[in-house]
Structures are given as C-alpha cells and as structure tokens.
C-alpha cells in the first residue's frame, strides 16, 4: 500500500486520546494541524520531545496550528506520562497543552506507515518511528518527516517549516536554505519576469551566475 503523499487528504481517523474520542478532521476544525508520533511512553528521548513541544505550544497556537501526539500506549499511561513530561519541562502544575492519541493496537501506526521495523519492544513488536505530519486547513498533507526512534527531532525547525508552509501557501515564493521569517525569499521559477515585477512591489534582485540564467531571484515578501 503506498504511503500518504504530499497533497493527499489526510485520513479522518477516529482515535481514543487523552481528551476523549476524536475524529481527526473535527479535532482540527479550520486550523492547521501537526501530528507527531513517538515510539513509547516513559522513554527518555520522547519525554524530552514532548516537553519541548509543550514549551513551544503558544508558538504553535500563534500560527493557528493544533498539536496532537501519538504513542502506542493506553490513555491511562499517556495521562501518567504527561505528568512526567511537564515535570521535566519544569512546569509540574501545568497540564500537557495538547492531547496524545492512544494507539495501543498500533492500527493507526500501521495505517499511516509510522512503524520502525528496526526498533522493537521486549516482545519483539515494532515501535513507532518519530513521524511528523503537517496538515493545512483543507486537511491536505503539506509536510511529512520520518526520523528513527534513536534521533530526537528539533521542534524549532518544525516551527520554521510551518512558517515557510504558511508563507508559501499565500505567496508565489519559496524559502531558501536556512531561511528564517524576515529573511528574503525566492521568486518561484514558473513566474515570468513581468509577473514577478507586478507581484513583488518591494522589488526583485537577480543574482548573476556563470550560466547567464536568471533563476536566482530574491524578494522581500
Ligand atoms: C527514547 O525515546 O528514548 C527511545 C525510544 C525507543 C528507542 C530508542 C529511544
């Protein structure tokens, strides 16, 4: 079965979570969404990731992105683990600011292609990898990344990517290497010079290159 492709409508799955049963599309409403999966509750790297995600939750909120985590344990385990996460985050009195999906039967992990065959539990069952899915307000998959269980993600990078996705959804631009909000962006190659001049009233500068081609066009969005 082919996995989810960018641009696909994200499945409207039903799941038990720490805030009760949800249907994914209803949970998202008109917001963007980020779903991030974890190998297991009460594991070290996952705990650092969930704590960082909690610390950055206001930043996701500012960008109108609803957060939801997933791990292959029960709601009861997730609730107990959430307390450890918030204690690790040095905010022991604050509840975890996003729900966690309980995928203890691994059904969703299989459906969404999230299992890591190289990492197994004591019973030899595969654990979930560190997947990230970003979904736009039309429920289309805009970003998918997959890290192995042994490599924690960078949640600042996820915010940076969301800034790029949201900007490029609005304007005919692309963000170059190491781009940060406020930096110059690039005019997409399919836009003619005349169209670019009309759209980008801040001006377009073209970097000269040996080929003489004029594809390196920068503008301030
Ligand atoms: C962790 O979260 O620390 C972890 C989980 C599974 C395999 C390796 C590391």
Q: 200: domain range? A: 171-219
pLDDT of 2 above 70: no
Residue 194, H or E segment: helix 193-199
The pLDDT, as a whole number, for residue 78 is 98
Whose C-alpha lies nearest to ligand 1, atom 7? 149
The domain total for the chain is 2
pLDDT of 120 above 60: yes
pLDDT tens per residue, range 20-33: 999 999 999 999 99
Residue at a domain's end among 122, 153, 184: 153
Ligand 1 center–CA 54 separation, angstroms: 19
Quote the tokens at residue 49.
């990731």
197 in any annotated domain? yes
The pLDDT, as a whole number, for residue 221 is 87
**3-state percent breakdown (helix, strand, coil) of the chain, nearest 5:** 30, 30, 45
Question: Both 93 and 198 in a single domain?
Answer: no
Ligand 1 center–CA 23 separation, angstroms: 28
pLDDT tens per residue, range 83-109: 999 999 999 999 999 999 999 999 999
Do the strands 65-71 and 32-38 form a parallel or antiparallel pair, or are they unpaired? parallel
pLDDT tens per residue, range 136-171: 999 999 999 999 999 999 999 999 999 999 999 999
C-alpha span between 106 and 113 (Å, rounded)? 10
140, 8 Cβ separation under 8 angstroms: yes
The DSSP result for 41-99, as a single string, is: TT-HHHHHHHHHHHHTHHHHHHTTEEEEEEESS-HHHHHHHHHHHHHHTT-TTSPPSS-
Question: Both 121 and 182 in a single domain?
Answer: no
The pLDDT, as a whole number, for residue 27 is 98
Question: Both 21 and 122 in a single domain?
Answer: yes
Quote the tokens at residue 27.
């949970």
Question: Both 53 and 144 in a single domain?
Answer: yes
Quote the tokens at residue 39.
């190998």
141 in any annotated domain? yes
Whose C-alpha lies nearest to ligand 1, atom 1? 45
- Is residue 41 packed enough to be buried (19+ CB in 10 Å), middle (13-18) or exposed (0-12)? buried
pLDDT of 209 above 50: yes
Ligand 1 center–CA 127 separation, angstroms: 9
pLDDT tens per residue, range 185-200: 999 999 999 999 999 9
Question: Both 179 and 149 in a single domain?
Answer: no
Question: Both 132 and 188 in a single domain?
Answer: no
Residue at a domain's end among 125, 153, 181: 153
Ligand 1 center–CA 118 separation, angstroms: 12
pLDDT tens per residue, range 47-75: 999 999 999 999 999 999 999 999 999 99
- Is residue 92 packed enough to be buried (19+ CB in 10 Å), middle (13-18) or exposed (0-12)? exposed
Question: Both 102 and 203 in a single domain?
Answer: no
Mean pLDDT value of segment 69-82: 97
**Domain at 80, CATH number:** 3.40.30.10
Compute the CA torsion angle 181, 186, 190, 191 (nearest 10 deg).
90
Q: Which residues line ligand 1 (CB under 6 A)?
A: 39-40, 43-46, 119, 127, 149-150
Question: Both 109 and 200 in a single domain?
Answer: no
pTM recorded for the entire structure: 0.95
**Residue 20 region by backbone torsions, left for phi larger than 0, else alpha for psi between -120 and 50, else beta:** left
The pLDDT, as a whole number, for residue 1 is 45
Question: Both 23 and 56 in a single domain?
Answer: yes
The pLDDT, as a whole number, for residue 117 is 85
**Domain at 175, CATH number:** 3.30.1020.10
165 in any annotated domain? no
159 in any annotated domain? no
**Which string of b and e fits 148-180 if b means at least 16 CB within 10 Å?**
ebeeebebeebbbbbbbbbbbeeebbebeeebe
Question: Both 54 and 142 in a single domain?
Answer: yes
Ligand 1 center–CA 113 separation, angstroms: 18
Question: Both 130 and 190 in a single domain?
Answer: no
């Amino acid at each position: 079965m082919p996995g989810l492709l960018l641009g696909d409508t994200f499945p409207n799955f039903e799941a038990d979570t720490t805030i009760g049963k949800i249907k994914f599309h209803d949970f998202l409403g008109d917001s963007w969404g980020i779903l991030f999966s974890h190998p297991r509750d009460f594991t070290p790297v996952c705990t650092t990731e969930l704590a960082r995600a909690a610390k950055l939750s206001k930043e996701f909120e500012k960008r109108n992105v609803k957060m939801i985590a997933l791990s292959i344990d029960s709601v009861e385990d997730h609730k107990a683990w959430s307390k450890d996460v918030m204690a690790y985050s040095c905010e022991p009195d604050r509840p975890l600011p996003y729900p966690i999906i309980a995928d203890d039967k691994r059904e969703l992990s299989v459906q969404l292609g999230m299992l890591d065959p190289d990492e197994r539990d004591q019973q030899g069952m595969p654990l979930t990898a560190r997947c990230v899915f970003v979904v736009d307000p039309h429920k289309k998959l805009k970003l998918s990344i997959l890290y192995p269980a042994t490599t924690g993600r960078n949640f600042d990078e996820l915010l940076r990517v969301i800034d790029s996705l949201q900007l490029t959804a609005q304007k005919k631009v692309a963000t170059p290497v190491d781009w940060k909000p406020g930096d110059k962006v690039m005019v997409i190659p399919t836009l003619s010079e005349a169209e670019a001049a009309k759209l980008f009233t801040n001006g377009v500068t073209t970097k000269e290159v040996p080929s003489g081609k004029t594809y390196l066009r920068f503008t301030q969005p």
